[in-house]
């Protein structure tokens, strides 16, 4: 199937500025924005690797794109809409954010409780309504999930696989991945990355993937974006990175160095 290229960008960040609010819900007076003047445009089919050192602002940017923090609607557009203000974007599955810990709110136990109840992987995965059975089967296979796993007895990596499977069941148009592959073994990660590449090439999905683990990613991204101190330091298509890396470019992290050949 050919990629359905749309002329409109799928992700547009225009001079994004953001400060975490203080306890009164407002940015502390005189505080410097954490994210400042950040702009980025991605199109259907793009696979963007978001890199940067700890605390650089990657998660914050992904959460803003995922509609989890409010910013002015013109600063961030996903599929032409503001993810924070247009909640249908996420609820429809067009925009999918997969990050960090897999938690949910449980009435008697409190907020953000890790998903560890005595329920089978099958019940969780088949409990999502309106899913194409072929896609569901493919994801179960790609992530090598045993449907009889009980969620309170699985390993972190197995739990993560079920989380990823659930997150990808709906055919997203924009996917935001925040270090989601950390618990996966090498083979599971490679299979998942191949699946995600196919999603971009065949369906024209856009993926932004924040990670520190570059092994096996040489051929995966179409773009690389490097962020430091909440500011965009470098954004370029991968073929351009390869051109430069041949002449031994070093992308510097604050106080450290990241060899571009390992990207």
* Span interacting with ligand ATP, options 57-65, 141-149, 157-165, 244-252, rule CB under 6 A: 57-65
Write a three-state SS string for the chain: CCCCCCCCCCEEEEEEEECCCCCCCCCCCCCCCCEEEEEEEECCCCEEEEECCCCCCHHHHHHHHCCCCCCCCCCEEECCECCCCCCHHHHCCCEEEEECCCEEEECCCEEEEECCCCCEHHHHHHCCCCCCHHHHHHHHHHCCCCCCCECCCCCHHHHHHHHHHHHHCCCCCEEEEECCCCCCCHHHHHHHHHHHHHHHHHHCCEEEEECCCCCCCCCCCCEEEEEECCEEEEEEEHHHHHHHHHCCCEEEECCEEEEHHHC
Q: Is 20 an interacting residue with respect to ligand ATP (CB under 6 A)?
A: yes
Among 10, 11, 58, 165, binds ligand ATP (CB under 6 A): 58
* Span interacting with ligand ATP, options 47-55, 119-127, 128-136, 199-207, rule CB under 6 A: 47-55
Tokens of 17: 């500025």
Tokens of 233: 């330091």
Q: Is 208 an interacting residue with respect to ligand ATP (CB under 6 A)?
A: no
Q: How far is the CB of 66 from ligand ATP (least distance, A)?
A: 12
* Span interacting with ligand ATP, options 49-57, 153-161, 234-242, 244-252, rule CB under 6 A: 49-57
* Span interacting with ligand ATP, options 55-63, 70-78, 130-138, 233-241, rule CB under 6 A: 55-63
Q: Are 196 and 47 in contact (CB under 8 A)?
A: yes
User: Which residue, 60 or 163, has its beta carbon nearer to ligand ATP?
Assistant: 60
Q: How far is the CB of 256 from ligand ATP (least distance, A)?
A: 13
Binding marks (x or -) toward ligand ATP, 67..106, rule CB under 6 A?
----------------------------------------
Among 40, 42, 51, 52, binds ligand ATP (CB under 6 A): 52
User: Which residue, 210 or 238, has its beta carbon nearer to ligand ATP?
Assistant: 210
User: Which residue, 35 or 139, has its beta carbon nearer to ligand ATP?
Assistant: 35
Q: Is 54 an interacting residue with respect to ligand ATP (CB under 6 A)?
A: yes
Q: How far is the CB of 243 from ligand ATP (least distance, A)?
A: 27
Degrees to nearest 5, angle at CA 249 with 240 and 206:
40
Q: Is 57 an interacting residue with respect to ligand ATP (CB under 6 A)?
A: yes
Binding site for ligand ATP (CB under 6 A): 20, 34, 52, 54-60
């Amino acid at each position: 199937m050919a990629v359905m290229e749309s002329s409109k960008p799928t992700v547009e960040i225009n001079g994004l500025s953001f400060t975490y609010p203080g306890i009164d819900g407002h940015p502390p007076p005189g505080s410097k924005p954490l994210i400042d003047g950040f702009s980025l445009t991605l199109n259907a089919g793009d696979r963007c690797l978001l890199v940067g050192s700890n605390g650089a602002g990657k998660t914050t940017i992904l959460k803003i794109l995922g509609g989890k923090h409010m910013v002015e609607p013109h600063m961030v557009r996903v599929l032409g809409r503001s993810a924070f203000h247009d909640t249908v974007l996420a609820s429809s599955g067009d925009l999918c954010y997969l990050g960090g810990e897999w938690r949910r709110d449980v009435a008697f136990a409190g907020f953000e409780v890790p998903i560890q109840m005595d329920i089978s992987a099958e019940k969780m995965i088949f409990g999502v309504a309106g899913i194409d059975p072929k896609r569901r089967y493919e994801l179960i296979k790609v992530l090598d999930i045993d449907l009889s796993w009980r969620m309170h007895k699985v390993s972190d990596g197995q739990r993560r696989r079920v989380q990823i499977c659930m997150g990808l069941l709906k055919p997203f148009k924009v996917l935001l991945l925040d270090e989601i592959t950390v618990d996966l073994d090498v083979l599971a990660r490679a299979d998942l990355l191949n699946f995600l590449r196919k999603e971009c090439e065949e369906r024209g999905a856009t993926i932004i993937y924040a990670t520190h683990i570059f092994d096996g990613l040489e051929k995966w991204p179409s773009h690389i974006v490097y962020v430091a101190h909440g500011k965009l330091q470098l954004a370029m298509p991968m073929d351009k990175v390869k051109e430069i890396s041949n002449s031994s470019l070093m992308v510097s992290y604050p106080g450290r160095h990241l060899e571009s050949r390992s990207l």
